[in-house]
Structures are given as structure tokens and as C-alpha cells.
């Protein structure tokens, strides 16, 4: 770990410092309340002290709680307001959740923990990670606070074997850092108000082996084992269908007669290491508290069977930008709806997100239902808009055409064609995976898909 105390700071002139090594003063921080979805964007602003190079520093962290830890990181010195807003628009706003403001210690705990978790899981740190390592030093200043806090957390269970307490880092590994940040992570869990959201979120946590979060919603006196999928690695919940087991309503025990005991079945589509599974799990609830979890079956299925389960109608519109001398607008920032950009071999993909995660409240959950749709911009200046819902496609088209209208580029934009397609994965994704550079030519080979 890079150490940056005042004894080794590089003084450049008149008691001032290079911006990287200058002291930083915490101003504010927030994180998205999307912990139950398995990821958060975290924002922080610092004042840079005694440096002629910069007066402020803004940083963004993307934490993948389930796998990578700190997966992405961005650093901005003296950013203009629109730079920060554009960054939030294409990252934070895509999470569909509230922003929870953190105090300095809460922020430090979160970043300190997941920096080390990234390393413990064997992943490479962000290329520019040295730009945030002063945060690690800030947390460790009060007499190696982390080790002290964790030893306190584990003191009861370690009293039986004093040697464990001396080697708590080696004994508990990742869990030591999870305990440091757990209180903060619980603040970032969205309130659960419905049975559907409770069951879907818990299935996400189970398939992610995230027992520290899952156990907060479970009555331990009746649930012994939270490893619901012991034979699977960490995976993704693609679909979940919830149904109440009404035939069991009349089978309550005498102790359950006056309580809100209900039982539910969750039939789910999971993806683990490129293999699909159908699982059936039974839950016993008292209100919004889980009393029992019973795995019923787990069946491996083919990718073709999974594609059939996920298949549906896709509504698509194609545009062409016709100019040899004007650049295509940078749609990531100009598009008014929150969107996340990914580069591909033949262009740029934009996933366009809804402002909330209300799809978890439905009895049938689909992973991509947090999106309005997708937009793909090819290197041939062909733009493809796609959605599973015709109303959403019309909204995307109106917003897209509005960008060109505001910029005076409407004369260069032409609507080529619209389709109603039946596609397993979404035609944009099939197109990206193909060797084609023109979407119309790609569809010409799939005429049997058109309806």
C-alpha cells in the first residue's frame, strides 16, 4: 500500500504540494441505494489543500459487491459542473435508486473494505488506483482502526481459541473486511415493502453467496443454512416467478394461527459459469421476515431452453445519419434518459435505464426489465433503437429525434425502417455478436423472424 504522510510529501514551492500528494479535506460523499442489486456507484468530493495545481477532486467508484469489488474508478481534478453531471447521468442515474449521503468514516470504511476484497478475490485493481490510495491511509490513521474493529467484532467467537484472535486476518479472510463495511452496506439496501421484492432480492443474494446481507432478513432460530445453492458458483438471477402456495394456507400449526404466515414458491432461471439452471425454492414468511427456506429442485437446462424462456417480441427502429463532414453527436451525454455506454467491435451500445427498480416488485421478475431498451450506433452511422415494449420504443424515438432537433441536425437524419421481431436475446445483441456491420443486411438473413 502506498503511504502518504506529511514526512514524504513532495513540496514543490513555498510550502505547497503536487496535487496528487497534497492533503485532501473531505467535503461530501454518497452511494446509490442499490446494495441488494449487488452493485453501487459511490461519489466523493475533496478539497485539495496547499496545491497550485488543483482546488478540488471528485472521484467515482463502481463497487461490484458480488464479484470484482472496486471494478471501475474515475478521477476528476477541478471538474466543471457539467462534467460531474454527465458522469452521474451515465453511471449513478443508471442504478435506478436513491442517493444515500455518507459521512467521512462511512465512506472510508466502504472503499477501504472493497479495495482489499478486490485483492483477496484475485482481481486486478483499477489502472489508476494509486489516485485513491490516500483514502486507505486516511482510514488506517487511527491506530490501524480496521484490525481493531474486526477483532472486536469477532471477540466472542474467538474466546474459545485465543490463537484465532491473533491470526484473525488469515482466519477470516474476506469476511474481516465485510464486517468493517457491513453497517454502511445495510444503509445502502433499499427498503423492502413487498413480498415479491423480498423474495427476488433474497434469491439474488443467495446465488451471489452473500449471506451477510441475506441474514438480515431471516429469523435464524428457524433457518439453519443459507447456502441454498451449495453446488453452484456465484451466478446471476435472470428470471423469477413467484406464486403463493395456497394449498398450504390451511396447514398452519397452532403457533401460526394468529400470525401472518404465508408460503411461496420461486421458480427461477439462473446462470452460473455459462450454464443455465431452473431452481425451485419454497419460502415460509411471517410478514416480510423469512422463517424458512427449502430448496426443492435444481435442474440444468440447455442455452436453447433458456433462450426460449427469455424470448419475446422486440420492437426496433433504424435510422441513418447522412453526413460526411459532420460528426455524429456524442449520444451518451446528449440523450436525456440515463444510459450506460459499452464499446463493441462494430460500434457503441447504449443501455437506456428506467429511473427506478420497481421491476423487483412484480411476481414475474426479468433481469433486463430495469431498462427502457437499447440503442446501438454503428461505425457506418446507422442507429438502431430497440425495446420489448412499443410504448417505450416510441419514447426512445422521441428522445432520440429530439437530440438531433436541438442540435440542428434533423436534415441529416433519416428514418430507414421499423420492425416487429421475435428474438431470443434481442436483435441488437445478435447483431453485435455477428460479423455484420449493417443491421439491414443482418436482418435480411433472418426474414423468418419478421412478423
pLDDT tens digits along 389-439: 999 999 999 999 999 999 999 999 999 999 888 765 457 788 888 878 888
Output the pLDDT for position 450.
Answer: 46
pLDDT tens digits along 351-388: 999 999 999 999 999 999 999 999 999 888 999 999 99
pTM of the model: 0.86
Confidence of residue 256 (pLDDT cuts 50, 70, 90): low
The rounded radius of gyration (Å) of the Cα atoms in the chain is: 25
Arithmetic mean of pLDDT over the chain: 86
Between CA 100 and CA 44, with CA 124 as vertex, the angle to 5 degrees is 25
d(CA 245, CA 257): 17
pLDDT tens digits along 323-360: 877 777 788 889 999 999 998 888 899 999 999 999 99
d(CA 373, CA 393): 7
Cell numbers for 130 = 494509486
Nearby residues of 375 by Cβ (< 8 Å), 6 or more positions away: 331, 335, 339, 349, 350, 352, 383, 384, 385, 386, 396, 400
* Of 282, 237, 105, the residue nearest 181 (C-alpha): 105
CATH code of the domain made up of 311-449: 3.30.160.110
Q: Which helix (H) or strand (E) holds 139?
A: helix 133-140
d(CA 155, CA 376): 54
Output the pLDDT for position 2.
Answer: 40
Output the pLDDT for position 165.
Answer: 36
* Of 202, 381, 190, the residue nearest 285 (C-alpha): 202
Cell numbers for 256 = 401460526
Place of cell 461505425: 379
* Of 442, 319, 428, 315, the residue nearest 381 (C-alpha): 319
d(CA 62, CA 269): 26
* Of 322, 323, 437, the residue nearest 376 (C-alpha): 437
CB count in 10 Å sphere of residue 355:
14
Nearby residues of 27 by Cβ (< 8 Å), 6 or more positions away: 44, 45, 46, 47, 56
d(CA 346, CA 231): 38
Structural domain boundaries in the chain: 11-151, 195-306, 311-449
Output the pLDDT for position 184.
Answer: 98
Select the more confidently predicted residue: 40 or 450: 40
User: What's 367's DSSP letter?
Assistant: G
Lowest-pLDDT choice from 1-15, 71-85, 89-103: 1-15
CATH fold for the domain made of 195-306: Nuclear Transport Factor 2; Chain: A, (3.10.450)
CB count in 10 Å sphere of residue 45:
18
Cell numbers for 225 = 443454512
Residue 147 has pLDDT above 60, yes or no: no
Between CA 20 and CA 138, with CA 182 as vertex, the angle to 5 degrees is 25
Confidence of residue 99 (pLDDT cuts 50, 70, 90): very high
Residue 150 has pLDDT above 60, yes or no: no
pLDDT tens digits along 263-297: 999 999 999 999 999 999 999 999 999 999 999 99
Amino acid at each position: 500500500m502506498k503511504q502518504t504522510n506529511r514526512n514524504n510529501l513532495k513540496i514543490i514551492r513555498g510550502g505547497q504540494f503536487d496535487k496528487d500528494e497534497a492533503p485532501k479535506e473531505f467535503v461530501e460523499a454518497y452511494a446509490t441505494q442499490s446494495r441488494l442489486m449487488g452493485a453501487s456507484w459511490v461519489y466523493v468530493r475533496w478539497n485539495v489543500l496547499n496545491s497550485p495545481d488543483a482546488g478540488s477532486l471528485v472521484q467515482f467508484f463502481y463497487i461490484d459487491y458480488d464479484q470484482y469489488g472496486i471494478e471501475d474508478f474515475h478521477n476528476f481534478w477541478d471538474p466543471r459542473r457539467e462534467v460531474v453531471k454527465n458522469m452521474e447521468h451515465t453511471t449513478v442515474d443508471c442504478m435506478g435508486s436513491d442517493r444515500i449521503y455518507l459521512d467521512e468514516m462511512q465512506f472510508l470504511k466502504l472503499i477501504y473494505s472493497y479495495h482489499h476484497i478486490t485483492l483477496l478475490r484475485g482481481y486486478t485493481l483499477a489502472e489508476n488506483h494509486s489516485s485513491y490510495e490516500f483514502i486507505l491511509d486516511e482510514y488506517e490513521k487511527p491506530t490501524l482502526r480496521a484490525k481493531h474493529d474486526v477483532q472486536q467484532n469477532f471477540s466472542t467467537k474467538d474466546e474459545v481459541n485465543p490463537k484465532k484472535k491473533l491470526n484473525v486476518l488469515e482466519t477470516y479472510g474476506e469476511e474481516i473486511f465485510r464486517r468493517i463495511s457491513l453497517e454502511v452496506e445495510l444503509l445502502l439496501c433499499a427498503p423492502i415493502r413487498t413480498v415479491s421484492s423480498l423474495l427476488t432480492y433474497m434469491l439474488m443474494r443467495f446465488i451471489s453467496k452473500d449471506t451477510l446481507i441475506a441474514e438480515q432478513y431471516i429469523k435464524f432460530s428457524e433457518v439453519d443454512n443459507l447456502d441454498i445453492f451449495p453446488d453452484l458458483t456465484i451466478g446471476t438471477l435472470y428470471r423469477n416467478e413467484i406464486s403463493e402456495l395456497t394449498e398450504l394456507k390451511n396447514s398452519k400449526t397452532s403457533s401460526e394461527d394468529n400470525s401472518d404466515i404465508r408460503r411461496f414458491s420461486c421458480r427461477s432461471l439462473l446462470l452460473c459459469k455459462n450454464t443455465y439452471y431452473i431452481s425451485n425454492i419454497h419460502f415460509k414468511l411471517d410478514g416480510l421476515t423469512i422463517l424458512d427456506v427449502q430448496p426443492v429442485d435444481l435442474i440444468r437446462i440447455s442455452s436453447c431452453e433458456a433462450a426460449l424462456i427469455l424470448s419475446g417480441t422486440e420492437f426496433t427502429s433504424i435510422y441513418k445519419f447522412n453526413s460526411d463532414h459532420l460528426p455524429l453527436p456524442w449520444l451518451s451525454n446528449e440523450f436525456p434518459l440515463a444510459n450506460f455506454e459499452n464499446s463493441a467491435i462494430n460500434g457503441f451500445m447504449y443501455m437506456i435505464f428506467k429511473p427506478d427498480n420497481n421491476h423487483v416488485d412484480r411476481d414475474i421478475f426479468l433481469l433486463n426489465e430495469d431498462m427502457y431498451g437499447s440503442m446501438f450506433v454503428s461505425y457506418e452511422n446507422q442507429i438502431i433503437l430497440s425495446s420489448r415494449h412499443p410504448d417505450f420504443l416510441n419514447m426512445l424515438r422521441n428522445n432520440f429525434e429530439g437530440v438531433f432537433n436541438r442540435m440542428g441536425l434533423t436534415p441529416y437524419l433519416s428514418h430507414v425502417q421499423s420492425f416487429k421481431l421475435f428474438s431470443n436475446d434481442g436483435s441488437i445483441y445478435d447483431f453485435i455478436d455477428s460479423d455484420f456491420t449493417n443491421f439491414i443486411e443482418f436482418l435480411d438473413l433472418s426474414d423468418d423472424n419478421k412478423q
